Chain A
Amino acid sequence: MCLGIPGQIVELLDGDEQLARVEVTGVRRTINVGLFDDGEIGVGDWVLIHVGFAMSKIDEEEAAMALSSLRMMGQGYDEEIEALLASRVEVREQASASEPESTAPLRSVG
């Protein structure tokens, strides 16, 4: 539960929900970035994602290590990624500002 999944911010979404699009293992998801002040996080930054929120800002090296550690967990990793991908943190329906959800198979990265 305390796992952090690394993702790279690809778009900050407009609106008051403090949402951003991130790329996680090749799949794009929406996460909440409300635990950071405006301007603290930008496109291209890496973050650790915890329960749908950007928990900490990391560098690319840390992201690669976190991902590698997660993959070593095997089933635990699959479950965590699956849970993240099944999650929808947009509480109200959003007009999608970017391209439609990727339909990449979940396990292609494991």
Chain B
Amino acid sequence: MKFVDEYRDPAAARSLVSRITDLAGDDTFKFMEVCGGHTHTIYRHGIEHVLPRTVELVHGPGCPVCVIPMGRVDDAIAVAETPGVIFTSFGDMMRVPGGNGNLLEAKARGADVRFVYSPLDALRIAVEHPDREVVFFAVGFETTAPSTAVTLCKARDDDVRNFSVFSNHVTIVPPIKAILESPDLRLDGFLGPGHVSTVIGNHPYRFVPQQYGKPLVTAGFEPLDILQAIVMLLTQIREGRCEIENQYTRIVRDEGNPRALQILAEVFELRPHFEWRGLGFISQSALKLRPEFAPWDAELRYAVPGVRVADPKACQCGEVLKGVIKPWECKVFGTACTPETPIGTCMVSSEGACAAYYNFGRLHREAAVSLGRASA
């Protein structure tokens, strides 16, 4: 697999790091990688320790499991514990804590909670169990929402009436805007998300350079993709440019996936506001089912408590999701909060900054510290 090695080639990495060092010079830069997949790559490959001290990567809110607030998990559990319901969820959501425990605990108490890989699995369960009500716990950004939309169209077309969706789909642009409006953080640019952009394209990010004067480069998930995207950001800044660029042209097209966007618009509409863990309420940041799909909308079919639940005091996922603190700066990181017994969402998902750092990053960091932060 020669071509794979090319994207992990140490010599190419060193050359990119040296360009980054030269471009940064004596100035300091802070770039946010929006996507949890990027966070995973950065920790997995120890990228932050090969970068010069002048360039810092800050982890963003692009982990769909991490941003679901406690109250929505409680709502999910309330639906799951309704008699006759089969509640289906992606595996990642099972251990996300709400105010009343998590879905696995609800299952242990007797609720019929099942892990599914695809929303279509949930629909199939409904077809196979016409005497039961099947609810799908839909989470995810624009990467995942089109799959839920196709599934809902199929439920409508086949008139599957014992199936409904508890939609917690969110959109990527509003939290980026919220972070840009936040006084906590001074950012110099963004690494744009890879897979979300295959759906929405690059045009929705235009406000980042146009209104906020920050460059954004959509990036791939290989270590050299990340390094190259940083070079592109710094080059823009040094040349006095500020625009959207696409490093991930292998997959991302500027116009996105028109078919997926069309089906999203057919099935979903924007909620007036939605609560994000750590970021609070953000207007028009989440998707709910259009009125035409009301028969399949779990929020209309079940008594959902809809109570806002504050995060545990000890948990600092909010600050981690906004990039204000690093995972290891959280008071409970690695002690009370571990992947086995997560307190916060960032420790649950493999895309969460805390879990990625716990599993990979801390080893790189400890090594770097003990070597006096040796370069690549």
Binding site for B on A (CB under 8 A): 1-4, 17-18, 32, 34-37, 40, 48, 50-53, 55-56, 58-59, 61-62, 64-66, 68-69, 72-73, 76, 79, 83-84, 86-92
User: Are B154's CB and A2's CB within 8 A?
Assistant: no
Known: A64-B1, A65-B7. A87 touches B117 (CB 8 A): yes
Interface string of B12-44 (1 = CB under 8 A from A): 000000000000000000000001110001001
Residues B127 and A56 in contact, CB atoms below 8 Å apart? no
Could you say which of B118, B146, B150, B154 contacts A87, with CB atoms under 8 Å apart? Answer: B118
Bound CA–CA A4/B310 (angstroms): 33
Most chain A Cβ neighbours within 10 Å, of B35, B90, B251, B263: B251
Chain B residues 78 to 100 lying within 8 A of chain A, measured CB to CB, are 90-92
User: Is B11 an interface residue when CB atoms closer than 8 A count as contact?
Assistant: no
Taking residues whose C-beta sits less than 8 angstroms from the other chain, chain B's interface range is 35 or more
Check A79–B91 contact: CB distance below 8 A: yes
Question: Distance in Å from the Cβ of B66 to the closest Cβ of chain A?
Answer: 11
- Chain B residue at minimum C-beta to C-beta distance from A50: B143
Residue in contact with A52 in the complex, picked from B91, B117, B141, B351, CB distance below 8 Å: B117
B124 & A62 in contact (Cβ 8 Å cutoff): no
Count CB-based A-B contacts (< 8 Å).
122
- Top 10 nearest A-B pairs (CB, nearest first) are A52-B118, A87-B117, A89-B120, A83-B117, A56-B198, A61-B3, A53-B147, A51-B118, A34-B150, A35-B260
Knowing A35-B146, A87-B118, the reply to whether A4 touches B195 (Cβ < 8 A) is: yes
- Contacting A at CB under 8 A, from B159-179, are none
**Which residue of B36, B91, B195 contacts A56 across the interface (Cβ within 8 Å)?**
B195
Q: Are B350 and A73 in contact (CB under 8 A)?
A: yes
CB pair A65–B92 under 8 Å, yes or no, is no
Cross-chain contact A51 with B3 (CB below 8 angstroms) = no
Instruction: Flag if B143 contacts A32 (CB, 8 Å).
Output: no
B222 to chain A, nearest CB (A): 6
Tell me how far the C-beta of A8 lies from the nearest C-beta in chain B, rounded to whole angstroms: 15
Once A2-B64, A35-B260 are accepted as A-B contacts, the answer to whether A91 and B123 lie under 8 Å apart by CB is yes
Q: Once the chains are docked, how many angstroms separate the CA of A73 from the CA of B118? A: 21
Does A37 lie within 8 Å of B259, measured CB to CB?
yes
B198 contacts across to A, CB distance below 8 A:
55-56
Known: A2-B36, A37-B259. A72 touches B44 (CB 8 A): yes
Interface positions, chain B 81-139, Cβ under 8 Å from A, are 90-92, 115-121, 123-124, 127, 139
What residues on A are CB-neighbors of B37 within 8 Å? 2-3
Tell whether B235 is near chain A: CB-to-CB under 8 Å: no
Contacting residues, chain B, for A92 (C-beta < 8 A): 127, 158
Q: Is B313 an interface position by the 8 A CB rule?
A: no
CA distance A40 to B35 in the complex (A): 27
| Cα–Cα distance between A40 and B146 once the two chains are bound (Å) | 17
CB distance from A69 to the nearest CB of B (A): 6
Across the interface, B118 reaches (CB within 8 A) one of A2, A61, A89, namely: A89
B150 touches A32 (CB 8 A): yes
B247 interface residue (CB < 8 Å to A): no
Does B251 lie within 8 Å of A62, measured CB to CB? yes
Q: Is B4 an interface residue (CB 8 A)?
A: yes
The CA-CA distance from A40 to B259 in the complex, in Å, is: 11
> Given A2-B64, A91-B124, is A52 in contact with B90 using a C-beta cutoff of 8 Å?
no
Measured between alpha carbons, how far is A37 from B127 in the docked complex, in Å? 26
User: Within 8 Å CB of A91, what residues of B?
Assistant: 120, 123-124, 127, 154, 158
> Cβ of B140 < 8 Å from any Cβ of A?
yes
